[in-house]
Structure 1
Amino acid sequence: MNHLAHAYLSFHQPELITGNLIADFVKGKKNLSTYEAGIQQGIRIHRAIDTFTDQHPVTGKAKVFFRPSCGLYSGVFTDLVYDHFLATDPDRFTNESLYSFARYVYNEITLREQLLPPAFLQMFQYMQQYNWLYNYHTTEGMSSAFRGVARRAKYLETDGAVVFAVFMEHYAALKECYQVFFPQLQTYVENLLLMENR
């Protein structure tokens, strides 16, 4: 769910952005091999980001806040929270640069849409229409994102508004989790790309 983080950690490389965003819709090595090398690399980076994030102790700490309200979905909502704090991180974005970055990402994906999985394109239509990447920076946008996840979550019985209230109640503590975690994630991805591109 952390679409903004995946796009941001592609470092303005169009094929990496594409692979990073479609990765959840590409299953198995056979399907991976149908894409060009740069997109394949983006898919691998996406999977490495997910593994690093899921196994990081700070992510575990953040999930604890959500677990009582949403159980196994706590990781999904933690991902969303990381995107909010990335979008509002003054060292990384202003409102204007976030808006420009979102438009850049949408344009790059649109240029390659004939190559991409139909299920991804269906989601991407909503991402672009409602400007998810940009709207993660507002609490209104996050409220909408939480409700959307809750609507689509097959086994979640809690209303999205309840989970959003948890986010707002623990906002400062969750922000601290992001501030510790995200620089470590960025360093990890940068090192991974250096090794892959040797």
Structure 2
Amino acid sequence: MNILAHAFLGGADDDLRLGGMMGDFVRGAPDPSLPEGVRRGIVLHRAIDTFTDRHPAVVQARGLFQAPFRRYAGILLDMWFDHCLARDFAAWSDIPLEEYSDGVRQLLRQRRALVPERMHGFIQYMEREGLPATYADRGTLGRAFIGMSHRLSRENPLAEAMPVLLALEEELWRCFRAFFPELLAFAKGHW
């Protein structure tokens, strides 16, 4: 799961949502000086990633990717699932996607002092691109894959991923619809 899903799966608790969004930017044990709810959000982020990676529908979806994309299937699915959530957000939330997205960015601005330094550049990118709402747009998603391809240290095919994802779109939507309700129930168990 990516930034939209991790925020959403933190529920209405700002600390859990913030920690969930910070999870990919924190190495090792969460800083004990962080508020307890933020630390719990980081732990929840990791539990969500583990649940997702082990879910049979996600394991099956990773198997749909051929080389050289199979090696990057986890990254591709994380971002694609944010695309699915964004496109279908009204089915999961009473808050309109744009309003929710604005709230996510506002939370990051308000609590910036708690956010790891390595996340600050990503927050600027979110502001510039209107994320996470614009993950609903395939063009934004394609540009995100191109940008990510440049940030990885080794040569990779991420910049060419969109046609592959679009060819698998029907199967990937089925996967998302099969596992996301279970993931939401799992996350709610940690609130």
TM-score (norm 1): 0.89
CA–CA separation in structure 2 for the residues paired with 1:159 and 1:185:
26
1:172 corresponds to which of 170, 173, 177: 170
Tell me the residue number matched to 1:21.
21
CA–CA separation in structure 2 for the residues paired with 1:85 and 1:134:
11
Deviation, 1:93, is 5.2
Deviation, 1:14, is 1.1
**RMSD after superposition:** 1.7
Aligned residues: 190
CA–CA separation in structure 2 for the residues paired with 1:163 and 1:93:
29
Distance 1:67 1:14, change over 3 A: farther
CA deviation profile, 1:52-84 (whole Å, cap 9, x unmatched): 011111111111233423232110110111111
Greater mean alpha carbon deviation, residues 7-16 or residues 143-152: 143-152
Deviation, 1:27, is 1.9
Is 2:180 aligned against 1:185?
Answer: no
Task: Report the AA paired with residue 130 of structure 1.
Answer: E
Tell me the residue number matched to 2:139.
140
CA–CA separation in structure 1 for the residues paired with 2:130 and 2:167:
25
CA–CA separation in structure 1 for the residues paired with 2:43 and 2:177:
25
Give 3-state SS (helix, strand or coil) of 2:40's partner: helix
Greater mean alpha carbon deviation, residues 178-187 or residues 111-120: 111-120
CA–CA separation in structure 1 for the residues paired with 2:45 and 2:179:
16
CA–CA separation in structure 2 for the residues paired with 1:177 and 1:42:
25
CA–CA separation in structure 1 for the residues paired with 2:167 and 2:45:
30
Higher helix share: 1
Task: Report the AA paired with residue 169 of structure 1.
Answer: A
Deviation, 1:88, is 1.1
Deviation, 1:49, is 0.3
CA–CA separation in structure 2 for the residues paired with 1:136 and 1:145:
9
Deviation, 1:48, is 0.4
Structure 1 unpaired stretches of 5+? 194-198
